[in-house]
Chains A and B, each alone.
Chain A
Amino acid sequence: MTSSSDPEGFGPEPNVLVADEQESAPQEPNSIRRRSPAPWLLLTPAGLVILVVTVAPIIFLIFTSFTDYNQRSLFTGNFHGVGLLQYQTIFSDPDFWASVLRTLLFTATMVAGSVVVGMGVAQLLSRLGTVLKYVVTISLIFAWAMPTVASSVVWKWLFQPGYGVVNWMLTKLRIFGDLTNTDWANNTVLAYTCIWLLIVWQAVPFIALTLYAALSQLPQERLEAARIDGAGEWRAWRAVTLPFLRPTLLLVTILSVIWDFNVFNQIWLISQGGPDGTTSTLGVYAYKVAFVAFKIGQGSAISVITTILLLGLTAIYIRNLIRSGEDL
């Protein structure tokens, strides 16, 4: 991602990808030797470890998704192949489809919220004096640095029925009535709002600071030229700033989609996917099936599907990374 946050782009020219695949291409300056076994020796230890701890488990996961592995199998080690049964069960289960839909909806609203606010904050940062810029950056870094478990625990306290400070403030506003004893985790919309606020709170810093870094590379002459041509602030932004930020914006959005798709801790700790499973995303749903109900075969099948969906998103991400000039 060097190219977007750092326009000088440290890596060699983007077309090195092409050059690398043509044997006739001139030798790259920073390659030690083309046919040396050295890189393979250096890669072997890490490669073996990755094979053991990630590739093998994924293969085993796919295998498990075709079996009836359950709680008893954990003790006896006995399980049987059941073919596609687990997948048939999932696909005919309305809970599964509800989770898929929910995951897509949650991801979309979370990403939209964090990208819009993040963009606003990036613009804000670029218009501030030194002191206030420092203050805003510090508050962003605190929100970013907080471990998700800690922030989820703090969130539960902020939204605590009876003594939570948010309930108290909302009651003081006198718009919504008396919310003092509102239990946020016990109502689908409220639980989701609470989780959404937490996710956006933690996601905005990365997005805002990355966009701000890109924004500070924007040639001011272009904005000046647009203004001289009579463009208002909004038109100048749409015609000059937005196209300049587009590549960075795209990468940040795709990354947010992948991250928000995978959110687990915050949902688990705030609502446990409840009430009645109405805030369970695919991750939470798979976890509950595999580790609460201990239908491990079925949980594996859900995880396989989740992985496939996520691989699709990752493919989009990698394609954009390559397109933006990242030297893979």
Chain B
Amino acid sequence: MTTVAIQTGRPVRSASRRKRKWGTNTLAIVFSIVWLFPVYWMINTAFKPRPEVMTATPIFFPRDPTLANFNVAITQTTFLTNLKNSVIVVSGTLLFSIVLGLFAAAALSRFHFRGRRTIMVGILIVQMLPGTALLIPMFLVFNSLGMLGTYWGLMLAYVAHVLPFSIWVMRGFFITVPAEVEEAARIDGATTWQVLTKILFPLVLPGVIATSVFAFIAAWNDYLVAFTFMKDQSMYTLPVWLASFSTPQTGTDFGGQMAASVLFSLPVVVFFVLVQRKLVSGMSAGAVKG
């Protein structure tokens, strides 16, 4: 009873507020439907049997869901070879970029020295270079060295993109470690090397893992470089495989291609969800999406 008495104090206001609440909620639902639709349509198509994929009136839920499209994507294409290529090149890129980037990030965050600012600006600039600017000279050099279409060539091209970015992001994690931690170790007689390896590196480990995930996504998603360097289908990486998806029997098969998209996107989406929070605050300085 008392609550009613309190609410009747401002009946007009609360009614208009409720109406507005309805408005924002409806807007939120409409927005979510529109934004999720492409993802939903990809998954929907991937699970449809062939006769349901291309119909005059689109079918919004597979009537007879099947995994046949996934089977086609994996077995009737060069999926496994191309997956192997992607895994080799991406792991090589990560190994290089994270180890070298970790040391550089430590230098740029825990030390003050002349020229530091210049180096930071240089790294930012390198990171913002347009794709074709590095692509052309690398193509020429690798062509004359016989490295076009090899893992090494592709890996070096990815390191050019991922290493500056990794330095920048990991530096952000180093900065968050309070100076007292370092000073305490120093008072106990630790050398610079010990401070780094015994104190700082373990403390920034979560940041290193997050950075590795960003770096993984950047290298895994690249299409432009791989498409230009790897002309032999057996040397394609997964993005090139996906973009040129076709099976010998049917040509472009949308069921198969959507299943292929799901397979290719799945690891990225999973990893992305894991580090998304760090991404919002940490990625602003680094271009991941290519």
Residues in A lying within 8 Å of B, measured CB to CB: 1-2, 4-6, 10-11, 17, 20, 28-36, 38-40, 42-43, 45-47, 49-50, 52-58, 60-61, 64, 69, 74, 77, 121, 124, 127-129, 132, 135-136, 138-155, 157-158, 160, 162-163, 165, 168, 201-202, 204, 206, 209-210, 213, 251-252, 255, 258-259, 261-262, 264-265, 268-269, 282-283, 286-287, 290-291, 296, 299-300, 302-304, 306-307, 310-311, 313-314, 317-318, 321, 326-328
| Complex: chain A residue closest to B126, CB-CB | A54
Within 8 A of A (CB), among B28-62: 28-29, 31-32, 35-36, 38-39, 41-42, 45, 53-58
Bound Cα distance from A213 to B134, whole angstroms: 35
Interface residues of B (CB under 8 A from A): 24-25, 27-29, 31-32, 35-36, 38-39, 41-42, 45, 53-58, 96, 100-101, 103-104, 106-108, 110-113, 116-117, 119-121, 123-126, 128-141, 143-144, 156-157, 159-160, 163-164, 167, 172, 175-176, 178-179, 182-183, 186, 192, 195-196, 217, 220-221, 223-224, 228, 239, 242-243, 245, 254, 257-258, 261, 264-265, 268-269, 272-273, 276, 280-285, 287, 289-290
Q: Given A38-B107, A139-B31, A283 and B131 touching (CB < 8 A)?
A: yes
Instruction: Flag if B133 contacts A61 (CB, 8 Å).
Output: yes
Contact B133 A53 (CB under 8 A): no
Query: Which of B28, B123, B172, B280 interacts with A210 by CB under 8 Å?
Result: B280
A168 touches B175 (CB 8 A): no
The 5 residue pairs across chains A and B that have the minimum distance between CB atoms: A30-B179, A1-B284, A145-B272, A46-B104, A42-B107
Of B31, B101, B178, B289, which is within 8 A of A202 by CB? B289
Contact B27 A124 (CB under 8 A): yes
Number of A-B contacts (CB under 8 A): 316
CB distance from A235 to the nearest CB of B (A): 17
Whether A153 pairs with B257 at a CB distance below 8 angstroms is: yes
The SS class assigned to the A binding surface is helix
Whether B39 pairs with A147 at a CB distance below 8 angstroms is no
With a CB–CB cut-off of 8 A, which chain B residues contact A17?
Answer: 117
The answer to whether B264 and A147 touch across the interface, beta carbons within 8 angstroms, is: yes
CA distance A17 to B116 in the complex (A): 10
Whether B284 pairs with A154 at a CB distance below 8 angstroms is no
Q: List 26 A-B contacts (CB under 8 A).
A: A1-B282, A5-B280, A39-B107, A43-B104, A45-B100, A49-B159, A49-B163, A53-B134, A54-B126, A58-B137, A64-B137, A127-B24, A132-B29, A136-B28, A139-B36, A142-B36, A147-B217, A147-B220, A150-B265, A153-B245, A154-B38, A154-B258, A163-B54, A165-B41, A258-B287, A307-B129
